[in-house]
């Protein structure tokens, strides 16, 4: 068994700060000196209610969530939100517009089509999702209830570095793979959702943030587990929540608050991604996938001259203590995920490895 932690570039579940992992480990047998372990404690207990309250307060502080917005911890992953957003916000037949910038956006629009008239205003498939739309590249339909976008395309390695123009419509975002890692204006959105397993903690927990408008939209007769109002009324405790996940998220946000808050994470993430992109731009040996303006700080994707070289790159990287660099199975190549908990030293090690690999193979 390895005694040291290796460089973990996984796309999610992903690396967590070691101090958070230790805090979670300490809570397993005994949560906050109650004599009851984290996994054994009632979600209706006072001690767990404090965890939920702290988690909500930290989300609000770290992400500057407006006071009148509702913060929910749900299950079913971001994938359930593809359907749940449309189910709650659209009436049958109503229109909603989507910017289709990758696999997750394709899945989101597919689910929305089950409910209403969901239309792709822009689709990057023909260009292998290397790029993102500019604000002038689409026109939101007058009748569209909302515009939906994916802030960071985990698989292709593209990311908006501004809030897309909703042209006066309600704005909905899947923030799964860059939440709490890059600047975000929650107040410009009516609903955002994110699976926790990249920057916020473990899988199986989804953060959903709703404006008063979004919360009020739910249609009567919506099944309880899919109804935002039901979850909001019970403070995310309508049914048994992912208690473990909420605890880890609370500790992750505590870690962030102790390390410069969102701005601290932004500064560290900018430095990490600039280091890796400067290596990718240094030599024609590396072939970055995303166009420059759309490059993601969170997931950096590139190819090598041949699939054989990519395979030997991955094999040698693994032998050098670097995991999770294989591109998503749908696109191949290399992907390095640089989420909040990944240390700059891991990117430095990767860049040194790349330079050595190029010398040996170039």
Ligand X SMILES: Cc1ncc(COP(=O)(O)O)c(C=O)c1O
150 binds ligand X (CB under 6 A): yes
- Sequence length of the chain is 362
List the one residue from 12, 245, 327, 333 that touches ligand X (CB under 6 A): 12
What's the CA gap between 246 and 254, in Å, rounded? 12
Q: Between vectors from CA 191 to CA 140 and to CA 168, what angle results, nearest 5°?
A: 30
Q: Of 45 and 203, which CB lies nearer to ligand X in the complex structure?
A: 203
* Span of 75-83, 257-265, 284-292, 342-350 interacting with ligand X by CB under 6 A: 75-83
* Span of 61-69, 174-182, 255-263, 337-345 interacting with ligand X by CB under 6 A: 174-182
131 binds ligand X (CB under 6 A): no
- Is 174 an active-site residue? yes
Site string for ligand X, 89-108 (x = CB under 6 A): ---------------x----
Burial (CB count within 10 angstroms: exposed 0-12, middle 13-18, buried 19+), residue 223: exposed
Strands of the chain (E only): list them.
7-8, 70-74, 95-100, 117-123, 144-150, 152-153, 158-159, 170-174, 191-195, 206-210, 287-288, 299-303, 322-323, 334-337
Residues in contact with ligand X, total (CB under 6 A)? Answer: 11
What's the CA gap between 163 and 185, in Å, rounded? 7
Q: Which residues of 45-74 are buried (b: 16+ CB within 10 A; e: fewer)?
A: eeebeebbebbbebbbebbebeeebbbbbb
The tokens describing 348, both together, are: 């430095």
Q: Are 351 and 275 in contact (CB under 8 A)?
A: yes
Closest residue to ligand X, judged by C-beta, is 77
77 binds ligand X (CB under 6 A): yes
Q: Of 17 and 77, which CB lies nearer to ligand X in the complex structure?
A: 77
Which one of 97, 131, 174, 190 is the catalytic residue?
174
Q: Of 78 and 246, which CB lies nearer to ligand X in the complex structure?
A: 78
Taking the complex as a whole, the smallest distance from the CB of residue 226 to ligand X amounts, in Å, to 15
List the one residue from 54, 79, 106, 361 that touches ligand X (CB under 6 A): 79
Site string for ligand X, 189-208 (x = CB under 6 A): ------x-------------
What's the CA gap between 275 and 255, in Å, rounded? 24
Contacts of 50 (CB under 8 A, 6+ apart): 32
Q: Of 45 and 79, which CB lies nearer to ligand X in the complex structure?
A: 79
Maximum Cα–Cα distance for the chain, whole Å?
65
* Span of 29-37, 118-126, 169-177, 231-239 interacting with ligand X by CB under 6 A: 169-177
- Is 104 an active-site residue? yes
Q: Of 70 and 177, which CB lies nearer to ligand X in the complex structure?
A: 177
Edge-to-edge order in the sheet of strand 334-337? 287-288, 299-303, 334-337
- Is 326 an active-site residue? no
Q: Of 17 and 76, which CB lies nearer to ligand X in the complex structure?
A: 76
Judged by CB under 6 A, the chain residues 316 through 355 that form the site for ligand X are none
- List interacting residues with ligand X (CB under 6 A): 12, 77-79, 104, 150, 154, 174, 176-177, 195
Active site positions, annotated: 104, 174, 198
């Amino acid at each position: 068994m390895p005694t040291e932690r290796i460089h973990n570039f996984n796309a999610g579940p992903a690396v967590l700060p070691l101090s958070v992992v230790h805090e979670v480990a300490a809570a397993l047998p005994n949560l906050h000196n109650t004599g009851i372990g984290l996994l054994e404690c009632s979600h209706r207990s006072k001690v767990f209610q404090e965890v939920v309250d702290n988690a909500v307060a930290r989300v609000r502080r770290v992400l500057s969530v407006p006071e009148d917005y509702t913060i929910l911890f749900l299950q079913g992953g971001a994938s359930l939100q593809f359907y749940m957003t449309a189910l709650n916000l659209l009436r049958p037949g109503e229109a909603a517009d989507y910017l289709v910038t990758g696999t997750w956006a394709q899945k989101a629009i597919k689910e929305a089509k089950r409910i209403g008239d969901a239309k792709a205003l822009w689709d990057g498939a023909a260009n292998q999702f290397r790029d993102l739309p500019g604000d002038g590249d689409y026109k939101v339909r007058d009748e569209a209830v909302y515009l939906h976008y994916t802030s960071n395309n985990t698989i292709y390695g593209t990311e908006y570095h501004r809030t897309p123009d909703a042209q006066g419509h309600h704005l909905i975002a899947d923030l799964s793979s860059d939440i709490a890692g890059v600047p975000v204006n929650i107040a410009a959105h009516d609903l955002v959702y994110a699976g926790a397993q990249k920057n916020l903690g473990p899988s199986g927990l989804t953060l959903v943030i709703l404006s008063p408008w979004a919360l009020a939209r739910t249609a009567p007769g919506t099944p309880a587990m899919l109804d935002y109002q039901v979850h909001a009324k019970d403070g995310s405790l309508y049914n048994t929540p992912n208690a473990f996940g909420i605890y880890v998220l609370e500790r992750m946000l505590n870690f962030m608050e102790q390390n410069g808050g969102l701005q601290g994470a932004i500064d560290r993430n900018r430095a990490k991604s600039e280091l890796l992109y400067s290596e990718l731009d240094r030599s024609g040996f590396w072939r970055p996938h995303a166009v420059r303006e759309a490059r993601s700080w969170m997931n950096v994707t590139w190819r090598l001259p041949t699939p054989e070289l990519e395979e030997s790159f991955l094999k040698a990287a693994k032998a050098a203590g670097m995991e999770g660099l294989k591109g998503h199975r749908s696109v191949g190549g290399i992907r390095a995920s640089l989420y909040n908990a990944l240390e700059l030293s891991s990117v430095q090690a990767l860049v040194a490895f790349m330079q050595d690999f190029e010398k040996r193979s170039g």
